[in-house]
Chains A and B, each alone.
Chain A
Amino acid sequence: MLLELDHVSKIYGDLHAVDDLSLSVAQGEWLAIVGSSGSGKTTLMNIIGCLDTPSSGSVTLEDRALNDLNAGQLADVRKNVIGLVFQKFYLVPHLTAVENVMVAQYYHSVVDEGQAMEALRKVGLEERAHHLPGQLSGGEQQRVCIARALINCPKLILADEPTGNLDGANEKIVLDLFRQLHEQGTTIIVVTHDALVASCAQREIMLNHGVLVAERWNDEEARKASEARGGTTAVVRPEGASDDAAADQGNEGGGVFVDPTKAAKTGGTTR
């Protein structure tokens, strides 16, 4: 397994942002984390991305326990293993597209403009390489952000609402890029509100108030492959269920899976 979370909780005072969550993600898997606002998606992503540490439980990335690492060591893991894609892009406004990509190289190892240009070519932005972010459209900025995430060949791409600020056309371009990365064997974890984006993933998990309440495999072959590799599905605790009940339900993945976007709009639930 590339990533394993074992009974991870993140507690702020009385608030359980992530509550006793266990999860395994295999190398090359595409996982979508869905849930309404405040469900703990971003907190979970910060923990997985080594930007935050859990209050309890353990996180293992590439068989390396992250709990005992200090800030500097976590930064090393972050730059060596993880590629980050943000909803708001977070490009450095005074650097050109290619320079923004090279910033990731700069902090990782050695700057190579040729590689940076190649990454931009992959996302279809070679011609826009020397434009400042302010001169690029939202979709183009997100593609620069993806090129920056890819440049150091990370094993895990963490994307937080990557299509949240994009129109339909640009959303399709970004999802196609993720598909290509997935086909190349890159592990992708996407946090999203969007059912369409989530459905592109092999597996979806749903959070509610920090609790993993549902899991759904969109790719049966992937599920079987995962099980064949000895992988386990997430421990799902239906809302209101006790820990024992959740344990009884085990890895069945039988929670009610709600389209968060539709549920938010209608107040109802759908399967």
Chain B
Amino acid sequence: MKGRRGRFGMGTMTNGRMFTIMILSAVFRRRSRAVMAVIASTVGAATLFCLAAVCIAVPQQMSEDMRSYGANLIVTPVESASSSANGVDAAMVTHTTEMVEAKTPAKVATYRYETVRINSASYIMAGIDSAKVKAINHHWSVQGSWPAPGKVMVGSDVASALGLKIGGDITIAYRAADNGGGASGASASASSSASSTAAPSASSKDGRVSTDILEEGGTSFTVGGIVDTGGSEDEIVYATAADLDKLAGGARGADLIEYSAEASGSALQSIADSINAMTSMGVKAQTVTKINTANSRIITMLQTLFWLVSVVVLVLTFVGVGTTMTSIVSQRRNEIGLRKALGAPSAGVGTEFYAESPMYGLFGGVLGTVLGYGLARVLCAMVFERALPMNWPLAAVSVLCSIFIAVIATIRPVRKASRIDPAVVLREE
């Protein structure tokens, strides 16, 4: 029969090495029992990691999704400021953006509004950077394409009033006289909106400004797309900022800056306050409270759910590991009695079990975390359609929790074991 020399190595034997051998032997040479303890820890760690990973990732996803439903912070020129008519210049946009991004990551988009004539009727035209506006307003339903050079995107109300189709042509004229107060009017209108992207609420039906003057001429554009949001955006004609500058005969500052910041609640308000405190900037910031509050409420709800479920899982894991450890200690009753008969102090017996149980927690924790990550990844891919990156701090917490629970769950059975009367070993017949 082949011996077992070398499994844990013998080398120069010391008491410390003997202690290690006893612990490792108990774990690796009694696999069936050790496996039960490891399985209990694995199940707990897997459940805990999976829930935590999903519950941490989902609010982030929700937050991002919510931000894609529009801005949560808007900045407009101060009405009384001399810069109001010229909008917020590029340098100030950059400065304001830096102030916001100093506190939280944010997406930004600017809007320039002008009154233009289409078939002699007045409409509001917005000059935008399509990519940036699209990044903030994922919820806009766009048929066709976003504005591109020579192509405009018209609001659904405008398209309906003018009988416009995608691919059709539209002639747009700019009259300086129409914009004596047009830009500022649009800006003022924008700043008063708290729940949308703050497009100007044009004063008339279907976005037309009432006029009886028939005008001819203008620049021809192709209708690239039709946008339908159900809001004031449906009454606006969107073009690229460059096309609007060209149509208006020159560039000027933005009438509205939209931010989709990652902050919410008081953090977001403090950003707005810090901008408003800088009166010399000539701009006014305000939060879009409706989305912001809903966002915060959902995230808080999910986080509460996470904590509740986590506590339940921790308790269940504790019970599972505790029961398994009790079973292991019970099965080793004779061995404990023997050790005490050989002169082991009660504390010594306890130390051996306290050194053994963290190993079950460690193995179970690592296995469970890997398993939990796999489950969470599959869950996120199937339900939320997004990849879940490995959360290493959470993985460390998961493993440490497993070790901690294994040790805590061992206390009661080990205390019981340390009270075993060694005489029972001799009494058994």
Contact = CB atoms under 8 A, between A and B. Distances in A.
Contacts of B429: 37, 42, 87
Contacts of B334: 90
B177 interface: no
B344 A75 contact: yes
Contact of A112 (B1, B13, B29): B13
Interface in B212-240: none
A86 B17 CA distance: 27
A103 B346 CA distance: 15
Interface stretch (B19-27, B123-131, B367-375): B19-27
Contacts of A94: 25-26, 29-30
A99 B421 CA distance: 24
Size category, A interface: 35 or more
A111 B343 contact: no
Contacts of B15: 106, 110-111
A49 B423 CA distance: 9
B341 A78 contact: yes
A45 B335 CA distance: 19
Most buried by A among B5, B346, B426: B426
A108 B343 contact: yes
A64 to B, nearest CB: 16
Interface in A93-132: 93-96, 99, 102-108, 110-113, 128-132
B67 to A, nearest CB: 58
A218 interface: no
Given A106-B19, A108-B343, A130-B4, A45 B25 contact: no
B214 to A, nearest CB: 101
Contact of B339 (A71, A87, A107, A128): A107
A79 B426 CA distance: 16
A128 B3 contact: yes
Nearest to A160: B426
A25 B355 CA distance: 42
Nearest to B29: A94
Interface residues of B, number: 38
Nearest to A46: B423
Contacts of B21: 95, 99
Contact of A46 (B19, B344, B346, B427): B427
Contacts of B4: 96, 130-132
Nearest to A71: B346
Q: Count chain B CB atoms within 10 A of each CB in A37, A42, A88, A107 and give the residue with the most.
A: A107
Nearest to B422: A51
Given A84-B341, A106-B19, A130-B3, A92 B335 contact: yes
A51 B3 contact: no
Interface centre among B19, B21, B346, by most A CB within 10 Å? B21
A107 B348 contact: yes
From B13, B334, B337, B344, residue with most partner A Cβ within 10 Å: B13
A99 B71 CA distance: 71
Contacts of B343: 75-76, 78-80, 104, 107-108
Nearest to B6: A130
A51 B13 contact: no
Contacts of A88: 428
B5 A111 contact: no
Contacts of B13: 102, 111-113
Given A99-B25, A111-B17, A75 B340 contact: yes
Nearest to A135: B1
B29 A107 contact: no
6 contacts: A84-B426, A90-B337, A93-B30, A94-B25, A111-B14, A148-B342
Given A88-B428, A94-B30, A95-B21, 13 more contacts: A37-B429, A49-B341, A51-B341, A51-B426, A75-B345, A84-B426, A86-B426, A90-B341, A92-B338, A94-B25, A94-B26, A111-B15, A131-B4
Interface of A: 37, 42, 45-46, 49, 51-52, 71-72, 75-76, 78-80, 84, 86-88, 90, 92-96, 99, 102-108, 110-113, 128-132, 135, 148, 160
Complex A-B, nearest 10 residue pairs according to Cβ-Cβ distance, in ascending order: A79-B343, A130-B3, A94-B29, A130-B5, A113-B13, A51-B423, A107-B343, A111-B18, A94-B25, A90-B338
